[in-house]
Amino acid sequence: MSTTELASPVRRLIRDLDDDAFRGIYQCDRYTATVLGNRFDYLVEHMSARLLTGAFSPVLRDFYDLACTVAGPPELGYPVPAASNGIVLMAGTTIDAVPNMVGEYGIERLHPGDVLIANDPYRTGNHNNDLVFTRPVFVDGVVAAFVTLNAHQLDMGGTVPGGFSATKQNVFENGLVLSPRLLVSQGVNVPETWNVIFDNVRMAEVLYPDMKTVCSSLELGERLVQESIERYGLAAFHGAMRYATDAAAERMALGMAELPDGDWEAEHGVDADGIDDTETYPVHVAIRKRGDRIEVDFSGTHRQARTSINATVWEVKTAIGVALKYNFDPRGRFNSGLFRNIDIVIPEGTVVSALPPDGAVFLYFEQSQVILATALIALEKSLGERAIAGDRAGTNLHTAFGAWPDGRPWVSAMQCGGEIGPFGANRHGDADTQCMSYLANGVAPSIEAVEKDNPVIMLRHEPVADTAGPGFNRGGNAMLRDTLWLTDAAHSIIELRHKSVTGFGVYGGGSGVNGGVWIFPPDESGEAVIPTTERSSFGRGTAWAGVIDPETNAPSRDGEYQYPFSNANVSTQQSVLRYITNGAGGWGDPFDREPERVRIDVRDEYVSIEGAARLYGVVVTGDPREDPEGVAVDEEATSALRAKLRA
């Protein structure tokens, strides 16, 4: 793993430095360092906004599937003082992607106006669709910084339109691989690079304007960097970069020092690959904490998978950094400094450190969730009340593709599946339900945009009662989404972790309830079958994924695992696709939860009246649908029921 920054010679806490000592280390005063620190944040968000407002791809425009960074030059160790509020999975890997790309291409070959690109997962992390664009910023003929955009492209070739598939078995099936090369040379497009991309990808009419907008965003970032240097000077600009990363490293070190020394282990994993469900892929994590440093050892992790559910070392670094930051510095900035006191041991050729050509990497985000969850499980006992419950532990991404009646192809990417779901609870309160995942903070696309671009109608998007892990603080509920497909379609569903419960509870909290995927074909006359949310309605559909009760066809802890790729996932005209995400874990003893909070959950239909009694020992009366404000708690009956359940 490359070293992305050099530790600054800070020998005591930054806040204890006097003004002369601070200036001696950072070549500027505290005020200037603070202003520039905020300027870095402004810079990367401004670059993001330029792309978001001009993007054609729904994955960029609606899903925020991108990350921007600004980095220092190699002589400073490529410090990254700021990353945008896009997908943190992409921001973390971009920290290492830039030095890897520049080191391989050669910094001496770069000139003003260049844009360097690459998308090889083993070089830059993530997957082939995440194309990294970086632009050097020159001052007096020398590289002073890099502005970078890691942006998901709607398609990069391969066997499946859009790329989202768990069944690809090697890098040759995965899609176009680009080693570091120039997209733009001294302000002029490089035809050979543009041609090799557009000779291999679908949907060029979307990719081309998006890539031009990315280049425009980088030009904006370059201008903002140059304006900052002109105003404050190059020494202060670089000093503020080092200050921002030093401050982040110091906050992480102080947070980790508060945790008692110890050794902790956990194992967690994906329950199947894209060939069959005969093999599981556990990730083993051993955490050793001494003083203000932590070592995370992945020895004992399963070998790389047979299909594209693998990840690389760059995802390991990002996921571990985020997991530890959640626990030790949740309010500090995300930048390259947070990794400074973390040591990671990763054997080669595992499911989280795959090697080409057979260790195909595409669903890296699923393995990243496993990595983060395994670290949280390992740390639970040592953290006590500071533990964080598991989220729904997957992205549930869905892609569909087909053709319009006139033959034109269409692709719906990451819009109509279970992309939005719950977080796990912690000591601060109940968890949100309408989120994505701990490592990806995308947003739900607008229904109007989805229905305009694709032959689909959004029928239902709502939480499912009694699916959240119970606790003093409740986990987030599973989300249900029903979509009606107006034409024949092929569906790519990403559902591999449904054998075991994923939304684990902590500190006495309960686990969430798993969901699944179903298709409801039309009736004999060709009319759509619109299912209700009652359990009896599942019987009219076909389960595509999940642990399913064979009698009711509904999700069940004690049911049978439905392998998602045993048959082709295709639907006919007027079929309804149903996604239910997994519920997330709770925090704390559910019998300690105040009855009034349970009453509100019943009123808002996060918990049913039956669930209030079964999960929380709270007796609730009334009708939440017909008279939600009339819902009440029977205090006497609740006290008796809780005493009985505790016994």
Q: Which of 488, 490, 482, 507 shows the shortest CA–CA distance to 580?
A: 482
| Coil/strand/helix, residue 517 | strand
**Do 166 and 150 touch, CB atoms closer than 8 A?**
no
User: Hey, how many other C-beta atoms are within 10 angstroms of the C-beta on 552?
Assistant: 14
| Coil/strand/helix, residue 583 | coil
In whole angstroms, give the CA distance from residue 126 to residue 50: 23
User: Residues 6 or more apart from 568 whose CB is under 8 A from it?
Assistant: 490
Token couple for 322: 């985020």
Mean pLDDT by 10 residues, the chain (647 residues): 50 88 96 97 96 89 90 97 92 97 98 98 96 97 97 91 89 95 98 96 92 97 97 98 96 94 95 92 97 96 96 97 94 92 97 96 93 96 94 88 89 88 96 89 80 94 96 97 96 83 94 95 94 93 94 92 88 96 97 98 97 98 95 96 94
User: Hey, how many other C-beta atoms are within 10 angstroms of the C-beta on 142?
Assistant: 11
Chain mean position to CA 213 = 24
In whole angstroms, give the CA distance from residue 563 to residue 559: 13
Say what the pLDDT of residue 441 is.
74
What does the DSSP 8-state code read for residue 128? T
Question: How far, CA to CA in Å, does 533 sit from each of 111, 220, 456, 547?
Answer: 60, 49, 20, 17
| Coil/strand/helix, residue 523 | coil
Contacts of residues 23-29 at CB distance under 8 Å and 24 or more positions apart, as own/partner, are 25/239, 25/242, 26/236, 26/239, 26/240, 26/242, 26/243, 27/235, 27/236, 27/238, 27/239, 28/232, 28/233, 28/235, 28/236, 28/239, 28/240
Question: How far, CA to CA in Å, does 77 sit from each of 292, 477, 606?
Answer: 22, 43, 49
**Do 522 and 529 touch, CB atoms closer than 8 A?**
yes
| Coil/strand/helix, residue 91 | helix
Say what the pLDDT of residue 436 is.
85
Token couple for 539: 């019987």
User: Residues 6 or more apart from 636 whose CB is under 8 A from it?
Assistant: none
Say what the pLDDT of residue 58 is.
83
In whole angstroms, give the CA distance from residue 19 to residue 271: 56
**Do 342 and 324 touch, CB atoms closer than 8 A?**
yes
- Token pair 């684990």 in the structure block, residue: 504
Token couple for 469: 């892990």
- Token pair 């040591």 in the structure block, residue: 343
**CB-based burial, 392-426: b 16+ in 10 Å, e otherwise:** bbbbbbbbbbbeeeeeeebbbbbbbbbbbbbbbbb
CA-based end-to-end distance of the chain:
53
**Do 481 and 415 touch, CB atoms closer than 8 A?**
no
Name the pTM for this structure.
0.93
Q: What's the 3-state SS for 170-212?
A: CHHHHCCCCCCEEEEECCEECHHHHHHHHCCCCCHHHHHHHHH
In whole angstroms, give the CA distance from residue 647 to residue 641: 10
Strands 409-413 and 293-297: unpaired
User: Residues 6 or more apart from 594 whose CB is under 8 A from it?
Assistant: none
